[in-house]
Structure 1
Amino acid sequence: MTTTRLNDIDLPTSGPWWRHPIMWLVIGGPTAVVVASMVTLTLAIVYPDPVVHSTSAVDRSGVAADEIADTAKTPAMNARNHAATAGQSR
């Protein structure tokens, strides 16, 4: 029985790197992320968020925002105080 050895010349070539679809995924994914971050940075610089100078803003109903925030925090404050006192009565 004869054994034939394959040389590098006899093997088929895989072709250039740009002909393989997986390479476009490997290069394209990070490239898309870099481009998207540049667009986001540009938008953030061109259109910055407005600065709110007043700390006691009033909503449309005429109620101060501080009053709304205090009533919204009441359940959390009660729970925090309950946990800090280990359930002892006042």
Structure 2
Amino acid sequence: MSQLANAPEAKPWWKFGHVWMVVAGPAIVVVASFITLYLAISRPDPVTDENYYQKGLEINKTLGGTPSSAAPAMAARNHAATGVPKPVDAP
């Protein structure tokens, strides 16, 4: 009987600090998800121009690039993919 009289008083769960550490993590994630949702809704991405490919080709032409300027890169890519060396040009 004396052991029960000396036992500490049981406190409710919300009075323990460790419980709040466990609850705080998911609570922060929920708040952050609502902030992210607000930002996604209030600041939508601009629509990509439907003619983006043609505009990109025009930009390449103004910069002096032509499809043949990619030839060294294409040859290296093909060599890396197949292992076949580039034919040697005869003089």
TM-score by length of 2: 0.60
% identity of equivalent residues:
39
Q: Is the 8 A contact 2:75 2:86 kept in 1?
A: no
Matches within 5 A, 1:75-90: 75=73, 77-90=74-87
> What is aligned with 1:42?
38
Which residue, 28, 33, 37 being the options, matches 2:29? Answer: 33
Give the drift of 1:27: 0.5
Count of aligned positions: 79
5+ residue gaps, structure 1, are none
Give the drift of 1:49: 0.5
Give the drift of 1:38: 1.2
Give 1:88's aligned amino acid: P
5+ residue gaps, structure 2, are none
Please identify which structure carries the higher helix content.
Answer: 2
Give 1:41's aligned amino acid: L
TM-score by length of 1: 0.61
> What is aligned with 1:64?
59
CA RMSD of aligned residues (A): 3.3
Give the drift of 1:87: 4.6
